[in-house]
Chain A
């Protein structure tokens, strides 16, 4: 049956935001929050990409003096910090924010206000880094600022503080987001979606969130220690007072390595969704894919030392870390097998999202294989900190995560906007980006093997690196052009694209059951799930349950393993408090760059904001009578 229009109207009244600016500032709609994340991160990706192009220009000829070393060092620091902390991870969180409730047939995230808080705080981190850049306090020591170089003795001024505090912002935001995503997936699944019937995408987002919870505290801790060394003269990393510079590297990479998989694992979720839909068959090896993601998540915590082989740690550990690092190839290889097997045995068609998947496999595997090479403790001594690593990390992050993300963007774009992107321009962008990327980054493997170190602002003419650098620059320029075509396509299609309808691709999961773009309440009823691919039931009406309130914001909470409905939970409505709390936290973070007193003093407004946030909205107790409400 079609839902009754008066029911939809009532739902819309209950769930829509207040109009205008106030609605903008107070919204807790997961779709609006995710869209903000995505727009901000894509804008930053463009800016950081321009920095990259600028650096490529500088390196296209030897002994170039166009950029000063200071400017070059700032550029790669800003590029790396932005791409890792402000683009990749937030984009993946945003995709989870946008898609998870829709794929669950739920009305919102588990903690709607926490979601809004995450975004505002992330945005504070963005402003911290880029406003500091605008007033020339740009961090200039790379995306991992090793002490003692980043310590008080060698980096006076506030550049390193800005970097460290930007991390605090984004990590608090990411931690809050990951708790939110994990709780949503674990506790808000529709009846019937047992863990065994959970789409790979949701598994990927769940694992990535749990990995975030275990890894990001490390970077928060280590940047706090760095700030303390700089601000209140603690001695964590100063050798003269018993500190140890390598401690920083251990803690940083205990986060830094899982970070790579926190970016890659959601991408495997995108790939799984896209491959299933366009192969028109149930994903081959669902449990293999899930187990692969789980084992990647577990292994990721056992191999941070492979970023530190040149530090000169005891040789005994080398073999262990080599084997553990290479072992990642097993789950990753099996995932690729499952996807290709699904494509090969389905009735597959290849519109733009699928092209991105093919581009992803062909490109990412190169990054995976160069990763196997660098995983060798011995061989890494020749490869680490050279352009080989620059090539490797971009193949893994761009080929392995950003290509699937572009595919996901094209795949879910009609769901978000109600319009299709142009296939023709989509293909043009695909060819330019994948071609330009490979042309730009493949030569960097060779540059590394010919001895060119990372993070050099120039190089001598007689080293024979000129030609490969020029090719790399040309390739980057082509890829950036492709990126502009992609963005133009997305923008034009927003107004002029063909209307897509609710389910243009014949998708397999629940987000395709609702209208495009989805209404504020997401879906009129609570669907009941009987299979991995609930939308593929031969076109019959979807079995669904009613009974979740329509006149107040309410969501269904179910049990963790078998998704048995447990109770109806009130869901928070629009509120200004997440923004106020984020402002209070931001003020404390920024002020603490200048004085440690900011922390105790700044805690007061934060406490006030949180009190306002959590102050429950219930009638006052009647004087005298101490009775529980019914």
Chain B
């Protein structure tokens, strides 16, 4: 019983839960699921209470029995109890099945007409994110950080480049798998401004634990200007200096910085790297120290990552870090 109360308390205190929690819904889809969860907690909590009372009843009553006599009316009373129990279970389940049906329909009820279109591809162990520019129709690429406009529906098309991953931003919506050869879609309609966090929930290999991403819900204007900036390339004339040239030479075969000679496609697009909140799919916070640490020993921080340990002279590493900091 104590556990049930704790459970209920947690469910009702949902407001204080975290940035990666279905108990703190900040979007239409998560809110529908949260209502369903509350209904489930009430029904299941009541059922559990009844079962505990049943245990107590049976233990206490058994002490008062002299001898069992099946000829008495006892069995018939039990039969009636059985019918009541069966009906109660069926009624309870019916309530829950209807509730589940309603929530399921709510997940696809989002309006589609002016949805923001985003394509997200899972990689071992990071996220390629591409927005469709509503004006030009071209795709704007970024990585590991998803921005969503408030009170609008974003239609996310999910794919995988290698193994199965699963896309989950619990504060906004439930998870959907990213499966090679299939295209799944999830709708996100956030209703609260702020930072949230998403994470891969299908085991995808050594660094499954370090495959997260940040989610920022912006007002429409802020979102538009963010997207416009993400769409811009770097001005080539400002990409000179030692850091830039070392980057193109050493990192450019895997990473892209639009507007420069760095055109690699294997790793995340770094054109606006420094505008992001974290490094390496949520592994490290974005900071000078984080960048230097990641450049120096990626295999120690995220063992197994495809990012190799690149032997750079200290001065070169420093220059690359400085250069990366300018990619805002």
B181 to chain A, nearest CB (A): 3
Asked whether any CB of chain B lies closer than 8 Å to the CB of A146, the reply is: yes
Report B's interface with A, CB cutoff 8 A: 3, 6-7, 10, 17-18, 20-23, 30, 32-33, 36-37, 40, 44, 47-48, 51-52, 54-55, 57-59, 61-63, 65-68, 70, 74-75, 78, 81-82, 85-86, 89-90, 93, 96-97, 99-101, 103-104, 106-108, 124, 162-164, 166, 168, 170, 173-177, 179-182, 184-185, 197, 199-209, 282, 303-304
Listed A/B pairs (23) with beta-carbon separation below 8 Å: A68-B303, A141-B203, A146-B202, A148-B162, A149-B164, A149-B205, A154-B205, A279-B62, A280-B68, A330-B86, A337-B85, A338-B82, A344-B58, A345-B68, A348-B59, A369-B44, A372-B44, A381-B173, A384-B201, A450-B18, A450-B20, A451-B21, A453-B201
Chain B minimum-CB-distance residue to A246: B179
User: Which residue in B6, B100, B170, B185 is a CB contact (below 8 Å) of A377?
Assistant: B100
Asked whether any CB of chain B lies closer than 8 Å to the CB of A543, the reply is: no
Contact with B along A438-471 (1 / 0, CB 8 A): 1000100110011101111111100110000000
Asked whether any CB of chain B lies closer than 8 Å to the CB of A361, the reply is: yes
Q: Which of A321-347 contact B (CB under 8 A)?
A: 322-323, 326-327, 329-330, 333-334, 336-338, 340-341, 343-347
B55 touches A358 (CB 8 A): yes
Asked whether any CB of chain B lies closer than 8 Å to the CB of A127, the reply is: no
Q: A348 to B23, alpha carbons, bound, how many Å?
A: 43
A345 touches B162 (CB 8 A): no
Q: Which of A5-13, A215-223, A310-318, A581-589 lies on the face that meets chain B?
A: A310-318
User: Which residue in A148, A310, A336, A341 is a CB contact (below 8 Å) of B177?
Assistant: A310
Known contacts A239-B181, A337-B81, A361-B55; A372/B96 CB under 8 A? yes
* Chain A residues whose C-beta falls within 8 Å of the C-beta of B17 in the assembled complex: 449-450
User: Which residue in B51, B58, B164 is a CB contact (below 8 Å) of A365?
Assistant: B51
B181 touches A333 (CB 8 A): no
Known contacts A326-B93, A343-B58, A379-B40; A451/B209 CB under 8 A? no
A340 touches B86 (CB 8 A): no
Known contacts A362-B52, A381-B176, A385-B202; A456/B181 CB under 8 A? no
Q: Which of A530-557 contact B (CB under 8 A)?
A: none
User: Which residue in A142, A315, A362, A383 is a CB contact (below 8 Å) of B104?
Assistant: A315
* 11 other A-B residue contacts (CB within 8 Å) besides A279-B62, A372-B93: A154-B124, A245-B181, A312-B184, A322-B104, A330-B86, A366-B48, A382-B37, A382-B170, A385-B203, A453-B199, A455-B208
* Chain A residues whose C-beta falls within 8 Å of the C-beta of B85 in the assembled complex: 333-334, 337
A175 to chain B, nearest CB (A): 28
Known contacts A239-B181, A280-B68, A333-B89; A343/B201 CB under 8 A? no
Asked whether any CB of chain B lies closer than 8 Å to the CB of A423, the reply is: no
* Chain B residues whose C-beta falls within 8 Å of the C-beta of A451 in the assembled complex: 18, 20-22, 170, 197, 199
A69 touches B303 (CB 8 A): yes
Q: Which 3 A-B pairs have the closest CB atoms?
A: A381-B174, A239-B181, A451-B20
* Chain A residues whose C-beta falls within 8 Å of the C-beta of B175 in the assembled complex: 310, 381-382, 384-385
Known contacts A245-B180, A455-B203; A288/B55 CB under 8 A? no
Q: A158 to B65, alpha carbons, bound, how many Å?
A: 62
A381 touches B33 (CB 8 A): yes
Chain B minimum-CB-distance residue to A373: B40
A382 touches B164 (CB 8 A): no
A352 to chain B, nearest CB (A): 15
Please give the number of chain A residues whose Cβ is less than 8 angstroms from any Cβ of chain B in the complex: 84
* Chain A residues whose C-beta falls within 8 Å of the C-beta of B23 in the assembled complex: 449-450
B40 touches A376 (CB 8 A): yes
A149 touches B163 (CB 8 A): yes
Chain A minimum-CB-distance residue to B171: A451
A23 to chain B, nearest CB (A): 46
Asked whether any CB of chain B lies closer than 8 Å to the CB of A254, the reply is: no
Asked whether any CB of chain B lies closer than 8 Å to the CB of A244, the reply is: yes
B108 touches A315 (CB 8 A): yes
Q: A459 to B51, alpha carbons, bound, how many Å?
A: 36
A385 to chain B, nearest CB (A): 4
Q: A450 to B196, alpha carbons, bound, how many Å?
A: 12
B21 touches A449 (CB 8 A): yes
A438 touches B3 (CB 8 A): yes
A154 touches B179 (CB 8 A): no
Q: A358 to B78, alpha carbons, bound, how many Å?
A: 20
Q: A344 to B107, alpha carbons, bound, how many Å?
A: 46
B164 touches A348 (CB 8 A): no
Q: A464 to B89, alpha carbons, bound, how many Å?
A: 36
B58 to chain A, nearest CB (A): 4
User: Which residue in A154, A338, A460 is a CB contact (below 8 Å) of B163?
Assistant: A154
* Chain B residues whose C-beta falls within 8 Å of the C-beta of A149 in the assembled complex: 163-164, 203-205
User: Which residue in B30, B104, B163 is a CB contact (below 8 Å) of A318?
Assistant: B104
Q: A329 to B96, alpha carbons, bound, how many Å?
A: 12
Asked whether any CB of chain B lies closer than 8 Å to the CB of A350, the reply is: yes
B203 to chain A, nearest CB (A): 4
* Chain B residues whose C-beta falls within 8 Å of the C-beta of A445 in the assembled complex: 7
* Chain B residues whose C-beta falls within 8 Å of the C-beta of A118 in the assembled complex: none
User: Which residue in A312, A366, A463 is a CB contact (below 8 Å) of B176?
Assistant: A312
A325 to chain B, nearest CB (A): 10
Chain A minimum-CB-distance residue to B102: A378
User: Which residue in A244, A362, A379, A458 is a CB contact (below 8 Å) of B33?
Assistant: A379
Known contacts A69-B209, A340-B58; A378/B22 CB under 8 A? no
Chain B minimum-CB-distance residue to A284: B78
User: Which residue in A282, A310, A365, A454 is a CB contact (below 8 Å) of B70?
Assistant: A282
* Chain A residues whose C-beta falls within 8 Å of the C-beta of B199 in the assembled complex: 451, 453
Q: A319 to B106, alpha carbons, bound, how many Å?
A: 14
Q: A445 to B81, alpha carbons, bound, how many Å?
A: 32
Chain A minimum-CB-distance residue to B107: A378
Q: A446 to B18, alpha carbons, bound, how many Å?
A: 12
A334 touches B52 (CB 8 A): no
Q: Which of A504-562 contact B (CB under 8 A)?
A: none
A350 touches B59 (CB 8 A): yes
Q: A24 to B41, alpha carbons, bound, how many Å?
A: 54
Q: A315 to B101, alpha carbons, bound, how many Å?
A: 10
* Chain B residues whose C-beta falls within 8 Å of the C-beta of A379 in the assembled complex: 33, 36-37, 40, 100, 103, 174
B300 to chain A, nearest CB (A): 9
Chain A minimum-CB-distance residue to B89: A333
A346 touches B200 (CB 8 A): no
Q: A153 to B102, alpha carbons, bound, how many Å?
A: 41
B164 touches A245 (CB 8 A): yes
B57 touches A464 (CB 8 A): no
B97 touches A323 (CB 8 A): yes
